[in-house]
A and B are shown apart, each in its own frame.
Chain A
């Protein structure tokens, strides 16, 4: 069964450092998303990406965040200067029609 792949599974970074979270969506999917889940809380939408541009972003997705789909395969989330409160699980998802599939997530810990 096709799946969304995320790397790394765990990332520890120092406050102020840049991190790049990587995702390989399902190949024939057209819509791509990043979500965040702070420990013990619900999954929150960050950003959606379609046709090589951001289609919507949440209030969380400020100027420190950016997304790219550099090569038609990978879909990345960059956090320019990490803060302690960025510590969370980050989930990538891709969608075609009503088939909405999540990856297993990257656990980001900012110290």
Chain B
């Protein structure tokens, strides 16, 4: 069935440390994943995406890793800053891209708290 979930609900890190947020998915046919950041009182904001033909994708201070063998992806944030404090969601479109719907199925979310 469709299921995207997170291992850790809350992650507390010191400013300057690296953060790793994890996500598991259940559908082996899933071929595209997105990480969103949601600050308090705001809508989800796109951070980075990855297609299933890739294992790793890097952005500015963020890296997404995809392990299709164990159906797991992670978001790594380098040198975490107070402005990174937010809830982070992984999400995937359902059905995979190409349909008229492509609703997003969101994971539960991880609250990242950055301590100054």
Contact = CB atoms under 8 A, between A and B. Distances in A.
Q: Which of B102, B103, B105, B109 has the largest count of A CB atoms less than 10 A from its CB?
A: B103
What is the predominant secondary structure among interface residues of chain A facing chain B? strand
B34 interface: yes
Given A43-B44, A100-B34, A95 B102 contact: yes
Interface residues of B, number: 25
Interface size class of A (residues with CB under 8 A): 20 to 34
A43 B89 contact: yes
B61 interface: no
A45 B97 contact: no
Contact of B97 (A42, A44, A98): A98
Contact of A98 (B44, B49, B91): B49
Interface of B: 32, 34, 36, 38, 41-46, 49, 89, 91, 93, 97, 100-109
Given A100-B93, A101-B46, A104-B42, 15 more contacts: A33-B103, A33-B104, A42-B107, A44-B106, A45-B103, A45-B105, A48-B100, A48-B101, A55-B100, A58-B103, A91-B43, A98-B97, A100-B102, A105-B43, A107-B41
